[in-house]
Amino acid sequence: MGGGGGGAAETSKTAAEGFELAEFNVARLRAPLDHPDTAEFVANLDAVNTEAEAAPGFVWRLTDESGQSSSYVVAYDDPLMIINYSIWASPNDLHAFVFKTMHAQFLRRRREWFQAVEAAILVCWWIPAGQRPPVAEAQERLERLRRDGPTADAFTLRHRFPPPSASTASAADGSHLESAAGS
């Protein structure tokens, strides 16, 4: 999978404490990305992603092999399911980007391009600074949120949890997910 850009957030308070916020969200398109009905959405992906990369607290975002938006990363069998996966210094930084930048304009219009989903579509969790968990882990975190509700391992921007303490840092590496993934 592709990489992504980094930002000055590497020196933020949260990163200095040794943790960053992973964010993963999914959406089911009404029409494929190459369909005229999604043309305006697709035409603005680069601008929104460029604004994200310049936003305070931005650390990293997933891109496809060619450097395009993570919307082009195939993560589900359903070709209309798209993903977004990024790393931020803090929930406040992510919240500010989502709701106080041009992203908010497109968020308000999401029903034009995406089908309504009753299940959770966004999950956050703390990771050790510099770690980039695989998409499969992000998918598991979303499923965990849907199954168990917000917990320290899978939460939302509305129901946040603080970063782990140093004594729980080993659990934040995701190794405890191996047993959950097998059940």
| Residue 3, domain member (yes or no) | no
| CATH code of 16's domain | 3.30.70.100
pTM assigned to the model: 0.81
In the chain, how many domains are there? 1
CB contact at 8 A, 24 and 125: no
| Residue 111, domain member (yes or no) | yes
Q: What pLDDT score does 104 carry?
A: 80
| Residue 1, domain member (yes or no) | no
Q: What pLDDT score does 168 carry?
A: 54
| Residue 29, domain member (yes or no) | yes
Q: What pLDDT score does 85 carry?
A: 97
CB contact at 8 A, 1 and 62: yes
Q: What pLDDT score does 11 carry?
A: 36
Q: In what order do the strands lie in the sheet with 81-88?
A: 58-61, 81-88, 19-28, 122-128
Q: What pLDDT score does 102 carry?
A: 81
How do the pLDDT tens digits run along the chain, 183 residues long?
455 444 333 334 555 489 999 999 999 999 999 999 999 999 999 999 999 999 999 999 999 998 889 999 999 999 999 999 999 999 999 999 999 888 888 888 899 999 998 999 999 999 999 999 999 999 999 999 999 999 999 999 999 999 997 545 544 444 444 333 333
| Residue 155, domain member (yes or no) | yes
For every residue of 54-78, DSSP letters joined together read: HSTTEEEE-B-TTS-BGGGS--SSS
Question: Quick check: helix, strand or coil at residue 155?
Answer: strand
| Residue 2, domain member (yes or no) | no
Q: What pLDDT score does 81 carry?
A: 96
Q: Provide the domain limits for residue 134.
A: 8-181
Q: Among candidates 166, 160, 173, 139, which has minimal Cα distance to 91?
A: 160
| Residue 87, domain member (yes or no) | yes
Q: What pLDDT score does 5 carry?
A: 45
Q: What pLDDT score does 15 carry?
A: 53
Q: What pLDDT score does 105 carry?
A: 87
Q: What pLDDT score does 3 carry?
A: 52
| Residue 15, domain member (yes or no) | yes
